[in-house]
Amino acid sequence: MYAIWKLCWSNLKNKKVQNSFMAIIIMLSALLLSTAILVINNTNRVYENMHAKVHGAHQILRLENGIHDPNQVHQWWAGQQGVTASEMMRYRYLSSMSHAGAEIPNVDLFMMDTPKGPFPVDKLLFVQGGETQAPKPGTAWIPTSLAYSNDIQVGDPIEFKTDKETFRLQVAAVVVDISYCSPFATSGRIWMNGQDYNTHMASLQGSDMYMTGLRFDDYSQNRAYWESFEKFLGTPYLESVKDFESISSYYMIANQVISFIMVFLAVVMISVALYTLGFTISDAILSSYKTIGIIKSVGLSSRKVVAAYVTQYTLLAFVSVIPGILLSYVFSNNIVSSSMAYLNTGTADMNVQFSAIAIWVGAAVVAVIFLSALLFSYKARGIEPAQAIRYGMSEKDSSKQSGRGSTWKKKLLKLGSLPTEMIIGLRGVTKNIRGSALIILITALSTSVLVFGFLFVYSISSIHGTIAKWGYDSADLSVRIDNPAKLTYEQLHEEVLSDQRVKNYSRYGDANAVLPIDKDLAAEMEQDTMGILLTVAEGNYDEIGYENVKGRNPLNGQEISIGVNIARSLNIDVGDPLDIYIEGEKHTLTVTGIYQAIANMSYTGRITADVVRKVNPDYGAVMNTTFINLQDGVSIDQFVSELHHKYGSSIWTASQATLVDEVFSQAVTILILPMSVMALLFIVITFVIIYSICRINMKKESRTYGIYKSIGMTSRQIRMAVTAGILVVSAIGALVGVPLGLIGLPPLLNFILADYGIVEVPLILNGGGIAAMIPLSIVAACLGSWFASRSVQTTSPRILTVE
């Protein structure tokens, strides 16, 4: 055992730089893998702990169309054992909120008549402001999602605009409202005092809507309750239901994307580390061939020689994995804190907690290194002492090497027109095929990761260019009538929509619908109906930019386009009939298209206004949003400014870019840090591995470089020659990596986001940015080579030749 340890320690001591860099590779692999595991586990933990703490709703029922009696619905659910139901809370919709004189774009507000606390379901956690049973008159509670993103503090006044008036409330508290404060969501609940609700909301046109939250002791049994509930109703439930999967999806999506990419990159990095390990051990055995032969000739067994190498790299892995796992705590804590910021109440619940899985990840990395070292070092068992002492290698390899001279002369004659440094560099590259292949692999992977990372982040930050492919419209601006008493749609049509600068327009609304599920699928899906949100158009979907991944948009009252998750769940394709209940009335529509949408996880549909008018002839009166495209060359900002100046508070307008930035700006913030760090890690890995390869090659070719130096070549010329060879090889790898990053890696995103409603992630190619990524791995490779060749500069030709 002492002999094994002595050999192990000698290898660690004599190759400090090489071993240090191998340790860095192992550490970074463990860092990425452990971070991904911690992010996934802690995202779920933070959300689930918070959901349990506030008795979060598993389902939220919204009764908006008067189809079912709210009191009857509430009494039934409140009487069920194993189910906790909140009060049946009344509310109205508003879509206008201002703070500090500026209107907040793209918000859908549930103006709630706050029941007296404590809430049995969806308990509110007060982050700012004092906790009371209900807001005082003239005040309101707002969710963290609205407060943080718009810098609203307790005591600030906020304004709301109805079709009759503009009224002001003061923010009394900022609360965590777990069902309505997720990232990327545009809706939120504003909790009002009952007196204020009666004054400002109850007097509006239309009737109150109602909402109740349901929490199940065992959520997996919810289907049995729903079967009993619909038997009680005598009909399917035909109003809106927001289920747990939909409530939680936006909390999870960003971290799921980041974690999946991290796991993939960690696996790639570990694979590269293993390949590098095999290369390093093989080279170590070859460079110590004679020494191993001598050791074996004096009685040390092959098993103990192999054990020395295995012990060396297992020990190295063990020492490296520990800081990788510790650093992953800091990295994952930052990611989780950023993505779950809207749930942060300042308690320790948000901090990342270590789990046994992270320790097992470290153990797995050590085990893989151990097995790989055992496999690669097994070559030492075949060393024959006599051949090793005589040739410094096996007799077979010696014969091969002695026969290479004439071949290299012929090859070098073909390169005679190149500069001397380039010939020397290329000779070194082609002589060391395994090392060159590894350099190509590393630079290809590094470039592909850099290109893919840039492509992804740039596409999200420039999402307004592909917003139609995410399920939204791509109109130039949105116009909403806020005061029909002062401005009717007919006036808007005559004075604005008929303007010569307007290219086309369409009026939009929405409606809730229910899809019945046939018996065979119902048993598999554990539900008999599926509630969806419909976009309703009075106009042409295509003109406003709505796209489909298959088929086309609906054109008449007999057609519908559906989201990809509806099509997948119900096994429906273009051309199939679809039974659907809209406002309680059954329709059979033909599916003309299937589209992807991030909103509502693609459990949505598109119909024309003709469908709803069959049930509700007056539906047009509630279609108060119009999407407008302007003629080419017309300034959108100037057009919006004119509308504000002419119509004042009667109208609300916003450009498409403003609305998109409001929703997706947080996605960019969450993604930039981890993607940037991962890109930096791969650049570091490229430098480290290529430094290690070149360092090994410099040792092997020391005699050759000594000869070059003795015949007049300067140290700088030799270093330039080595770097020139690496430049060529790394450039080849980078060129291979570009298509891999553009074509090979994006399908991973499609796989991750498919459950969230995106099956073909819309990516924007930016030639300049992609071109800027290519040199990074090449520069890292050249720097690794340049630094590795420093030994030539400080060593005399005589010593090099002797070595």
For residue 394, pLDDT over 50 is answered with no
Residue 148 has pLDDT above 80, yes or no: yes
Q: How far apart are CA 513 and CA 510, in angstroms?
A: 10
Q: Which of 672, 599, 662 is nearest to 149 (CA)?
A: 662
Residue scoring higher pLDDT (171 or 267): 171
Q: Are residues 212 and 314 in the same domain?
A: no
Average of pLDDT values for 519-526?
Answer: 69
> Counting beta carbons within 10 angstroms of the beta carbon of residue 347, is it exposed (0 to 12), middle (13 to 18) or buried (19 or more)?
exposed
DSSP 3-state of 157 = strand
- Domain of 501 in residue numbering reads as 467-663
Q: What six digits make up the tokens of 536?
A: 């309703």
Distances (CA, A) of 685 to 80, 170, 530: 59, 54, 49
Residues ≥6 apart with Cβ < 8 Å to 767? none
Q: How far, in Å, CA of 803 to CA of 800, rounded?
A: 5
Half-sphere exposure of residue 313: CA atoms within 13 angstroms, side-chain side: 30
* Residue 60, in any domain of the structure: no
What count of other Cβ atoms lies within 10 Å of the Cβ of residue 82? 12
Note whether 180 and 188 are within 8 A (CB): yes
The answer to whether position 227 is within a domain reads yes
Average pLDDT, the chain: 81
State how far Cα 156 lies from the chain centre.
Answer: 34
362 and 482 in a single domain? The answer is: no
pLDDT digits (tens, 9 = 90+) for 149-196: 888 999 999 998 877 778 899 999 999 999 888 877 778 899 999 999
| Rounded Cα–Cα distance for residues 122 and 176 (Å) | 9
Provide the token pair at 175: 């609360």
Pick the last residue of a domain from 630, 648, 663.
663
Q: Which of 237, 271, 304 is the last residue in one of the domains?
A: 237
Model confidence at 801, pLDDT cuts 50, 70, 90, reads low
Do the domain assignments include residue 620? yes
Nearest CA among 507, 509, 473 for reference residue 492: 507
CB of 522 closer than 8 Å to CB of 593: no
The set of residues, in sequence order, having a beta carbon less than 8 Å from that of 535 and lying 6+ positions away, is 508, 510, 546, 604, 605, 606, 607
The one-character DSSP state at 168 is E
770 and 790 inside one domain: yes
215-237 tens-digit pLDDT: 999 988 888 888 899 889 888 78
Q: What is the mean pLDDT of residues 423-450?
A: 81
Closest CA to 546 of 645, 438, 472: 472
> 541 with 655, same domain?
yes
**Beta carbons within 10 angstroms of residue 334's beta carbon:** 16
Mark whether 458 and 482 lie in a shared domain: no
Q: What is the pLDDT of residue 799?
A: 54
In angstroms, the CA 336 to CA 354 distance is 13
Residues 6 or more apart whose Cβ sits within 8 Å of residue 486: 647, 650
For residue 427, being part of any structural domain is answered with: yes
**Same domain as 450, residue 561:** no
Count: domains in the chain: 4
Backbone angles phi, psi at 431, to 5 degrees: -70, -35
Q: At what angle do helices 302-339 and 289-297 cross, to 10 degrees?
A: 130
* Same domain for 30 and 128: no
| Residue 233 and residue 114 in one domain | yes
Helix (H) or strand (E) holding 653: strand 651-655
> What confidence score (pLDDT) does residue 408 get?
45
Decide: 551 and 593 in contact? Cβ < 8 Å: yes
Whether 242 maps to a domain, the answer reads: no
Of 237, 266, 282, which closes a domain?
Answer: 237
Q: What DSSP letter does each residue of 701-769 carry, written as one string?
A: THHHHHHHHHTT--HHHHHHHHHHHHHHHHHHHHHHHHHIIIIISHHHHHHHHGGGT-SS------HHH
383, pLDDT greater than 60: no
Q: Which single residue is written with the structure tokens 């791995």?
A: 777
Is residue 271's pLDDT more than 90? Answer: no
Instruction: Determine, yes or no, domain membership for 47.
Output: yes
Question: What is the secondary structure of 3-69 as a DSSP string?
Answer: HHHHHHHHHHHHTHHHHHHHHHHHHHHHHHHHHHHHHHHHHHHHHHHHHHHTT--SEEEEE-SSSS-
Determine the average pLDDT of the residues in 46-75: 89
DSSP letters, 582-631, are ETTEEEEEEEEEEE--SGGGG-EEEEEHHHHHTT-TTGGGG--EEEEEEP
Burial of 59 (0-12, 13-18, 19+ CB in 10 A): buried
| Cβ atoms within 10 Å, residue 175 | 23
Give the best-scoring range by mean pLDDT among 19-23, 268-272, 465-469, 795-799.
465-469
Task: Identify which has the larger pLDDT, 19 or 385.
Answer: 19
Cα–Cα distance between 608 and 561 in angstroms, integer?
A: 10
Share of the chain above pLDDT 70, in %: 85
| DSSP sequence for 506-536 | EEEEEEEEEEE--HHHHHHHT-SEEEEEEEE
DSSP string, 413-467: HHTTTS-HHHHHHHHHHHH-HHHHHHHHHHHHHHHHHHHHHHHHHHHHHTGGGSG
Q: Check whether the bond before 135 is cis (ω within 30° of 0).
A: no
Which span out of 168-177, 204-213, 695-704 was modeled with the highest average pLDDT? 168-177
pLDDT at 599: 78
What pLDDT score does 406 carry? Answer: 44
SS3 of 63-77: ECCCCCCHHHHHHHH
- The predicted-structure confidence for 425-437, as pLDDT tens digits, reads as follows 777 777 777 778 8
Q: How many CA atoms lie within 13 A of 56 on its CB side?
A: 23
Collapse the DSSP code of 471 into the 3-class scheme (helix H, G, I; strand E, B; otherwise coil) and give the result.
coil
Mean pLDDT of 601-615: 89
Q: Which tokens hold the place of 166? A: 């503009």
- Domain identity same for 289 and 213: no
Residue 63 domain-assigned (yes or no)? no
Of 789 and 79, more confident: 79
What is the C-alpha separation between 423 and 370, in angstroms, rounded?
Answer: 40
**Hey, what amino acid is at 58?**
H
**Is pLDDT above 80 for 132?**
yes
Show the CA angle centred on residue 472, arms to residues 471 and 475, nearest 5°.
Answer: 145
Residues 89 and 154 in one domain: yes
Q: How many helices (H) and strands (E) in the chain?
A: 28, 23
Question: Does 225 lie in the same domain as 272?
Answer: no
Residue 508: beta bridge partners? 537, 625
Pick the range with the lowest mean pLDDT from 47-51, 647-651, 783-787: 647-651
713-to-12, 413, 414, 495, 719 alpha-carbon distances in Å = 33, 20, 22, 83, 10
Q: Is residue 192 part of a domain?
A: yes
- What local confidence, expressed as pLDDT, does residue 73 receive? 93
Residues 489 and 505 in one domain: yes
Q: How far is Cα 672 from Cα 458, in angstroms, rounded to an integer?
A: 10
Q: Check whether 742 has a pLDDT greater than 80.
A: yes
Q: What is the pLDDT of residue 348?
A: 54
DSSP state, residue 104: E
Higher pLDDT, residue 609 or 372: 609
Count, residues in the chain: 803
375 membership: H or E segment, kind and range = helix 356-377
- Nearest CA-CA partner of 161 in 129, 182, 193, 190: 190
Check if the beta carbon of residue 67 is closer than 8 Å to that of residue 584. yes
